[in-house]
Structure 1
């Protein structure tokens, strides 16, 4: 049987179950986090969790290392003490793809000569630089934000504007400008790293991460317009209608009547925004729900097939195998 591939965001939703159809990663990108005194633990964990989730979907894409300036324990803004993996040094820059300076509301904006030198060396090596909360200040103090747009927590905008007079300090929650990645908040840290991952690995992986970590806020849209908007309001209405009618699928004429758009208009929406057809997208929604029910319920295969609108268990099995590479009977059932 010919293997079928999921379209659009449905592929991201199923990414961790499609490992057999993916090529092995060509290399592992290395991300370093420099933890400064009183760094924002929520911002750091948001950034880290995004990378960890990426590895859940596609194993061994990223590895991370935490640094301190003097190989000492670092106290976060929440009073939780972290012991970094190693001290930041010239040698530790080797192999890094991204180096992120993690600051916080109470992180003192104090010049650190060695950090300044190491940031400049990192830039010379082509390592992308990032800053969380007020981390951008240290990059700016090293003279590495000239001509760049950047984000920093509102409390520290005046200080950054003064020390990096040739940069554009924005009011955004995060900013990506070429090889500079800066965020002003924990939420901004999530989207900052998400965009970096997208540049490295593409939008399917981004969709998968969003589906796991930010499904409520970003199920149909991106919080920041720089991230790909996948569905306009008319298309969201159609998809919501499909999701609400999986057990007894509607035909396109019924959908057309409910949303007040012609069949041709609906087909064009799916083609232009998701590069697929309404019928195929509907099938993929039902197959994906079937996978969820098989894994997370005690329903039999027959019951799952009925719940997902398939005319027979054999038709369900055929479609399931085409997308996931194995029949429903081989799906791993989670213990209850």
Structure 2
């Protein structure tokens, strides 16, 4: 059977499933996380998860090193003890593509001279520096935020403004200003890292990361809302109807009628705005959701096929194989 490729916006959501972009990186990008006492575990793990997810899509893209100031264990804000890989020293700065200082609500705002000197040396190497939660305070205390915009948790905004008088201090979710990357809370941490990855890699990888990380938050999120910003309202409404009716499929005439357009008008809008036909878009939407259900639920292949509008198992298997190159029964289960 000849393989089919995904079309339009659906292609970028499925590139990782059909083998495009799945290569081993020639050289890993090394990221260091400095864990301070009482650091925010949620902020750290969400930032880390973004990098690990990138590695799932493109093997060995990033390597991660966890540091503490003295090489000893660090207690997080949730009371979990983390054993670092190494003590942060000048040797540890070698080959780092970015160093992220991980603070937390109860992280003491204190830094000795040797710590500040390490941060300053990292800056002199031209290394991007990040700060999570109140991690930005330590960058400011080292004089590394002068002339920069930055983000810090509201509890420590005044403290940072005091030591970094030439910085524009905000409590936005995250701020990237040139080679300074700061997030004020756990919710901003993954977006901060994702935006940094965008500077290094192609859009398809970023879309893949977003898609995977958003799965649990919104199970039926199938396409990035940003990708629909430039489509017309009738097209948007048809897409939403398709998304809401995967099991019981709607005919094109029904879809067109619901949005007050003719079949021909809907076909033209899809061709011009999404680069495909409504029928093919609907099929690819169902195939994409089928793979998600196979990977992230314990539903049987038969039940997944029915949930995605395939009346017979043989039809489901043929369509699935045409796009992914293997039968749905061979799909990797992640649960």
My pick for the range that moved more, 68-77 or 119-128, is: 119-128
CA 1:21/1:201 → structure 2, altered by over 3 Å: closer, same or farther? closer
Query: Do the aligned residues in 1 keep the contact of 2:293 with 2:304 (CA within 8 Å)?
Result: yes
My pick for the range that moved more, 256-265 or 177-186, is: 256-265
Structure 1 gaps of 5+ residues are 223-227
2:227 to 227, 230, 235: 230
Match of 2:281 in 1: 281
Match of 1:214 in 2: 214
Q: CA RMSD in A?
A: 3.2
CA 1:204/1:104 → structure 2, altered by over 3 Å: closer, same or farther? same
Q: Distance in 1 between matches of 2:41 and 2:241?
A: 40
Match of 2:331 in 1: 332
CA 1:188/1:293 → structure 2, altered by over 3 Å: closer, same or farther? closer
Q: Distance in 2 between matches of 1:319 and 1:240?
A: 22
Q: Distance in 2 between matches of 1:285 and 1:16?
A: 15
My pick for the range that moved more, 21-30 or 5-14, is: 5-14
Match of 1:51 in 2: 51
Query: Do the aligned residues in 2 keep the contact of 1:9 with 1:207 (CA within 8 Å)?
Result: no
**What is the deviation of 1:158?**
1.4
- Tell me the matched-pair count: 327
My pick for the range that moved more, 199-208 or 54-63, is: 199-208
**What is the deviation of 1:137?**
1.2
Query: Do the aligned residues in 2 keep the contact of 1:4 with 1:322 (CA within 8 Å)?
Result: yes
Query: Do the aligned residues in 1 keep the contact of 2:24 with 2:60 (CA within 8 Å)?
Result: no
Match of 2:320 in 1: 320
Query: Do the aligned residues in 1 keep the contact of 2:222 with 2:289 (CA within 8 Å)?
Result: no
Matches within 5 A, 1:1-336: 3-7=3-7, 10-11=10-11, 13-14=13-14, 16-19=16-19, 22-215=22-215, 216=217, 219=221, 229-232=226-229, 234=233, 235-261=235-261, 264=265, 267-268=268-269, 271-272=272-273, 274-292=274-292, 296-300=298-302, 308-309=308-309, 316-328=316-328, 331-332=330-331, 334=333
Q: Distance in 2 between matches of 1:133 and 1:151?
A: 8
**What is the deviation of 1:122?**
1.8
Q: Distance in 2 between matches of 1:63 and 1:79?
A: 26
Please give the secondary structure, in 1, of the residue aligned with 2:140.
helix
1:132-165 per-position Cα deviation (integer Å, ceiling 9, x unaligned): 0011111122222222221100011112222222
Q: Distance in 2 between matches of 1:276 and 1:119?
A: 51
1:231-278 per-position Cα deviation (integer Å, ceiling 9, x unaligned): 249355322311232345334332222133565467547754x55443
Report the TM-score, using the length of structure 1 for normalisation: 0.83
Query: Do the aligned residues in 2 keep the contact of 1:267 with 1:278 (CA within 8 Å)?
Result: no
Query: Do the aligned residues in 1 keep the contact of 2:23 with 2:58 (CA within 8 Å)?
Result: no
Q: Distance in 2 between matches of 1:16 and 1:269?
A: 24
CA 1:265/1:286 → structure 2, altered by over 3 Å: closer, same or farther? closer
Query: Do the aligned residues in 1 keep the contact of 2:148 with 2:167 (CA within 8 Å)?
Result: yes
**What is the deviation of 1:177?**
1.9
CA 1:251/1:178 → structure 2, altered by over 3 Å: closer, same or farther? farther
CA 1:165/1:279 → structure 2, altered by over 3 Å: closer, same or farther? farther
Structure 2 gaps of 5+ residues are none
Please give the secondary structure, in 2, of the residue aligned with 1:99.
strand
**What is the deviation of 1:99?**
0.7
CA 1:21/1:31 → structure 2, altered by over 3 Å: closer, same or farther? closer
